[in-house]
Amino acid sequence: MLQINYIRENKEDVLARLSKKNFKQLELVDEILDLDQKRRSTQVQLDNVLSQSNTMAKSIGELVKSGRKEEIEKIKETTSLLKEDIKVLGEELSELEQLVHNKLVQLPNLPHSSVPAGATPEENDVVLTNGTIPTLPEGALPHWELATKYDIIDFELGNKITGAGFPVYKGKGAKLQRALINFFLEEAEKEGYFEVQPPIVINEASGFGTGQLPDKEGQMYFVGEDNLYLIPTAEVPVTNLYRDEIVKEEDLPIKNTAYTPCFRREAGSYGAHVRGLNRLHQFDKVEIVQIVHPDKSYETLEQMSTYVQTLLQKLELPYRVLRLCGGDMSFASALTYDMEVYSTAQQRWLEVSSVSNFETFQANRLKLRYKGKEGKPQLAHTLNGSALALPRIVASILENNQTEKGIKIPAALVPYTKFEYID
């Protein structure tokens, strides 16, 4: 959530940066500032009345000592009227504060100065490309056909049990999934991340804290009877571990990693480009989350991007890094790098990771602050990244590594799979 003080003092900058993010409701800024002005005016009135009331209350004590009953009665009458004013002004103030809050939460985060202008994924910047796209044997198959050929993923069985977008992994397909999860977690631990295993359902406060609510309410699965949501990513419960917390500055950075299943309704997604593992309603992912000092967050973002790239290099997958344009960024992000691997059988790039800096946007919602030995608490910066999401990694491994002998497992994974080929 943006800070009202910054909007008040930097209106033109806020409008320009919201426009870069392709935000269409710019009139909200003026509405927020008008309501905030009324709120501040009401606060001044309330403070003045409270001051008068307190002064009169003190004077009654002096008058009692001197026995001036008539004056006491007059002051009590005035005090009674002031109490009524205090009640009315207090209610007005609470209402205005809620109105400001309700409109403020509709504003997305402001993009960093390095974010390119643009409204569509085609306008993202390609930062770098790494690796060699393999040459596949004649008759190479897309992963959904390979899954059937080797009987490792059953899409129809998942459709029978639940519905489309819920595949069943079998045999070496299930072992490949488990191997990737263990590989990603152990690599994260080597990088200094502390593993946690959070709940995979969250309450409304947690969804609000990281920016999923109210922005992505329609994209999450909702358990109505209990007012809970299935998580779209481990970022949500892991970051919310620190909601309403003041951490010590010397404890920064805080680095957590977690494996969870993730659930996304993906309403409106359809077409040939989402076949197989390309887009699922349930999938596995290892997430990395950092809470850092504001002075270190962009340095940390680059480090996290580099770390995710090392995972792709160890998996021997050709990849590229994109800096997302304003219109393709998430609601809460200030700067996002997407990592895409090349699927040779499909002849297209597949997103496998997003690494984002949210600056103070999530921390302000979470009331997540840090405090040094001296000075008042300050908002921390939060970052997160997929390291990595499994479905498209599996799709790319299957497609890019198909040989006449079978599907070759990347060397880094063999200690985890205990087999070198899917055949």
Q: What is the spatial distance between Cα 268 and Cα 259, in angstroms, rounded to a whole number?
A: 27
Beta-carbon neighbour count of residue 39 at 10 Å?
Answer: 20
Alpha-carbon distance values, 247 to 32, 113, 193, 252, 368 (Å):
31, 28, 17, 8, 8
Q: Is 354 labeled as ligand-binding?
A: yes
Q: What is the spatial distance between Cα 355 and Cα 361, in angstroms, rounded to a whole number?
A: 15
Task: Say if CB 297 and CB 383 are below 8 A apart.
Answer: yes
Length of the chain: 423
Q: What is the spatial distance between Cα 142 and Cα 183, in angstroms, rounded to a whole number?
A: 25
Amino acid identity of 217? E
Q: Is 351 labeled as ligand-binding?
A: yes
321-348: buried (b, 16+ CB within 10 Å) or exposed (e) per residue? bbbbbbbbbbbbbbbbbbbbbbbbbbee
If you write DSSP's letter for every residue of 54-73 in order, what string do you get?
HHHHHHHHHHHHHT-HHHHH
Among candidate residues 169, 177, 175, the one with its CA nearest the CA of residue 151: 169
User: Where do we find the tokens 């007005």?
Assistant: 92
Q: Is 297 labeled as ligand-binding?
A: no
Task: Say if CB 251 and CB 290 are below 8 A apart.
Answer: no
Task: Say if CB 345 and CB 369 are below 8 A apart.
Answer: no
Q: What is the 3-state secondary structure (H, E, C) of 263-317?
A: ECCCCCCCCHHHCCCCCCCEEEEEEEEEEECHHHHHHHHHHHHHHHHHHHHHCCC
Task: Say if CB 407 and CB 423 are below 8 A apart.
Answer: yes
Alpha-carbon distance values, 23 to 27, 110, 214, 396 (Å):
10, 10, 16, 34
Helical residues (DSSP H) of 67-154, grouped into ranges: 69-104, 143-149
Strand pairing of 348-357 and 335-343? antiparallel
Q: Is 374 labeled as ligand-binding?
A: no
Q: Is 353 labeled as ligand-binding?
A: yes
Q: Is 233 labeled as ligand-binding?
A: yes
Phi-psi region of 271 (alpha: psi -120 to 50; beta: other; left: phi over 0): left
What are the binding residues for ATP? Answer: 264-266, 351-354
What are the binding residues? Answer: 233, 264-266, 287, 351-354, 384
What are the binding residues for L-serine? Answer: 233, 264, 287, 384
